[in-house]
Structure 1
């Protein structure tokens, strides 16, 4: 990884930056087994159980993205007459910590667990043990293997995210020039899946004059992402655009570009939150980017957990249930899709606050 100096002011500012959603999406994680489902048959007319306890386990507590998702889940559970309980590690890379929290929630006999998995396989044993104890398991934002949970609430389709980010950037640079990708961790399943679709999209003849020159990794760390952006421009001074499919990376890249001679010359898109990127849209650093509403993601994860615990669904493909006035159909491998990502730009960004 490149290293370079940054000013004390930059380091201090970036230390406060948002850590990434770093989520997985539909089709990110595949398994030879069908999605894990509970014994018995779903009863869509079963009464919604009240007095349940649903444990939310984000990748990282005190992360604004997951705080927003958690508030969505907490509000939904309150409306359903159940209790929200959040636990989780303070570091976005503490996989072993997530395992210990799953074990703790299992020992506490919660009715359901909603978890954003840091690693697609590391949590499987602990989650299977929870399911053996009758606890329903929902993954949201970042999936594990289908056999290790009952359902996955996907924020958007992996293919939609990968391809649309290329389309956004290509349009901004006039379908011509060198581009790079600033990703999160090199092992992140979701990032690698999205990047795979980006590369496949770039094979289309309309991108014949667009060249992907490098993919770098900021490890969902604001300072490292800032430095990687700086390094990309040093290595490729004629770079025309950057895609950063992580909220940490795109914010750090925007901060670097905004204060450099590259502002307005190197285009930037990816996955970010409106509150993080509003100033950079307004000062011309970012034209457009995309994401989903994390509060709605948390809401759907909570409602899915209650539907599972109530026996209204089991996680099988084709089952339907209502959540917040919307009817959702469970897809292949127990995937429930929140919907397509929203594109934010100068015209609509002030309509969103998260």
Structure 2
């Protein structure tokens, strides 16, 4: 992990209870005329042929600034914003569970009057009051990687279909353990929206009769902290000595679990899969600790979040279901139910293809 930032902006924005209730109950505001359409907050009528505005400022607020995954994602946004003639900035907490810190950074970006912000939420509801205030001030809000409640942002850029991600992680591990044995899940924080959604689909997938001999024994939480995830992996194997496999749907968790397994008697015996980056997992694939895992390209996720923020700020989309927009070389995207935009299918990495990727 990188060292934590030595200084945090602490500009606080006071929000009264009446304002919070008004933002929830009313269809319009004085500045952005935000409305709830199709589950997401939409402003006015979109013009897909509108020119892309230049000189916009887009603030990125990841769950955790010292997390390599978010570094890659946010750099993807930074690169495309420079190409489009916009200004990029990044703020955020050094802890993946510092929800109050995320709220303060939303308030900071609002005070700085950015045109748009891209936020990966640590908690689905905790940021809502601050994000609604940002929208009342005319700021477009895009969530990426981890969502808020749908009425707290304009659009959500999802890594892939949540159902696809949850089900494919189970499918990948089940193949490796021969569809038989005890498995566990090593997640991030208990409040992480994306993690919990994927885990719900994992449990649904496990109801299929083909998994009748696969038993999910525990969901553990490493809080996206390397040391805690390492210790949770150790604890799982002590508690369940017959464990056959672990799914870790978090890049910090899967790397920490691989680190533990590679130096233990369980190497090659307990299968590990989930979501990881090729650069983090390369050596564990090559030394036989991990057979296969999956992920989307986080840089592309950040790029799409940035392009969505610019499209919203330019009036090309409002966040309403059915709207389409062009995302440069990435192609065209259509906004789905509740303002969700899916990046695409995840990629499976193994010994045959992992050297083709560098992120």
| Mapped partners of 1:113, 1:83: distance in 2 | 12
- For the pair 1:169 / 2:173, whether they are aligned, the reply is yes
- For the pair 1:225 / 2:224, whether they are aligned, the reply is no
Task: State the shift of 1:188 in Å.
Answer: 2.1
Unaligned runs of 5+ in 1: 1-14, 18-30
| Mapped partners of 1:345, 1:172: distance in 2 | 12
| Mapped partners of 1:33, 1:74: distance in 2 | 29
Q: Would you say the 8 A contact 1:182–1:218 is kept in 2? A: yes
Matches within 5 A, 1:114-129: 114-129=118-133
- Of 148, 156, 161, the residue aligned with 2:160 is 156
Matches within 5 A, 1:1-354: 34-38=39-43, 40-325=44-329, 326-354=331-359
Describe the SS at the equivalent of 2:42.
Answer: coil
Root mean square deviation, CA, Å: 1.5
| Mapped partners of 2:190, 2:50: distance in 1 | 44
Describe the SS at the equivalent of 2:48.
Answer: coil
Q: Would you say the 8 A contact 2:38–2:320 is kept in 1? A: no
Greater RCO structure (CA 8 Å; 6+ sep): 1
Q: Would you say the 8 A contact 1:138–1:151 is kept in 2? A: yes
| Mapped partners of 2:71, 2:213: distance in 1 | 41
| Mapped partners of 1:32, 1:191: distance in 2 | 26
Task: State the shift of 1:81 in Å.
Answer: 0.8
Describe the SS at the equivalent of 2:102.
Answer: helix
| Mapped partners of 1:259, 1:85: distance in 2 | 40
Unaligned runs of 5+ in 2: 4-35
Q: Would you say the 8 A contact 1:244–1:271 is kept in 2? A: yes
Task: State the shift of 1:16 in Å.
Answer: 6.6
Aligned in 2, Cα 1:71/1:254: closer, same or farther, shift over 3 Å? same
Task: State the shift of 1:70 in Å.
Answer: 1.3
Aligned residue pairs: how many? 326
What per-residue deviation string (whole Å, max 9, x for no partner) do you get for residues 54-85 of structure 1?
11111111321111111111111111111101
Q: Would you say the 8 A contact 2:96–2:223 is kept in 1? A: no
Q: Would you say the 8 A contact 2:184–2:247 is kept in 1? A: yes
TM-score of the pair, normalised by structure 2: 0.88
Aligned in 2, Cα 1:193/1:32: closer, same or farther, shift over 3 Å? farther
Describe the SS at the equivalent of 2:157.
Answer: strand
| Mapped partners of 1:190, 1:146: distance in 2 | 13
Task: State the shift of 1:238 in Å.
Answer: 1.4
Task: State the shift of 1:221 in Å.
Answer: 1.4
Q: Would you say the 8 A contact 2:50–2:315 is kept in 1? A: yes
| Mapped partners of 1:252, 1:148: distance in 2 | 33
| Mapped partners of 2:98, 2:189: distance in 1 | 13
| Mapped partners of 1:268, 1:156: distance in 2 | 21
TM-score of the pair, normalised by structure 1: 0.89
